[in-house]
């Protein structure tokens, strides 16, 4: 069975500071992992995904994530936060059965000036 845990429902950083959003997964098969971002009153947009190629995945808007099998983690990072990064972020794992996504609970990122 696949599951995802996001540590921290709210993360607050200052503009220019490092962003670190944590995601741990559980999967009985080699996982495909996704990070999505949701801006207020909008749908979900793909930031990046891991599909067993490179373990360090680069996404849009300067975000990247590293797949660590030994730690069952797929944490999302960005070196320098921008005000426009304020949003809710979701980690998800894809099930082999028809690609159904199991989402984490979400992390709301607040960026202070």
Partner 1 sequence: NAGVTQTPKFRVLKTGQSMTLLCAQDMNHEYMYWYRQDPGMGLRLIHYSVGEGTTAKGEVPDGYNVSRLKKQNFLLGLESAAPSQTSVYFCASREDRGHGETQYFGPGTRLLVL
Q: Under the criterion CB under 8 A, does residue 100 sit at the interface with partner 1? A: yes
**Between residues 43 and 113, which has the closer beta carbon with respect to partner 1?**
43
Does residue 53 contact residue 32 with C-beta atoms inside 8 Å?
no
**Between residues 77 and 102, which has the closer beta carbon with respect to partner 1?**
102
One symbol per residue from 7 to 46: x for binding partner 1 (CB under 8 A), - otherwise; what is it?
A: --x----------------------x-x-x----xxxxxx
Query: Cβ–Cβ contacts within 10 Å for residue 18, how many?
Result: 11
Q: Which residue in 12, 14, 52, 80 binds partner 1 (CB under 8 A)? A: 52
89, 84, 90, 88: which is closest to 111 by C-alpha? Answer: 84
Query: Cβ–Cβ contacts within 10 Å for residue 12, how many?
Result: 13
């Amino acid at each position: 069975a696949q599951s995802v845990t996001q540590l921290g429902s709210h993360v607050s950083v200052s503009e220019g500071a490092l962003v670190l959003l944590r995601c741990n997964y559980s999967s009985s098969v080699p996982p495909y992992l996704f990070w999505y971002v949701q801006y207020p009153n909008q749908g979900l947009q793909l930031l990046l995904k891991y599909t067993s190629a490179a373990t360090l995945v680069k996404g849009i808007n300067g975000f990247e994530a590293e797949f660590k099998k030994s730690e069952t983690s797929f944490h999302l990072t960005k070196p320098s936060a921008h005000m426009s990064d304020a949003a809710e972020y979701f980690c998800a794992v894809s099930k082999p059965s028809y690609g159904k996504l199991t989402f984490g609970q979400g992390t709301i990122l607040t960026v202070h000036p």
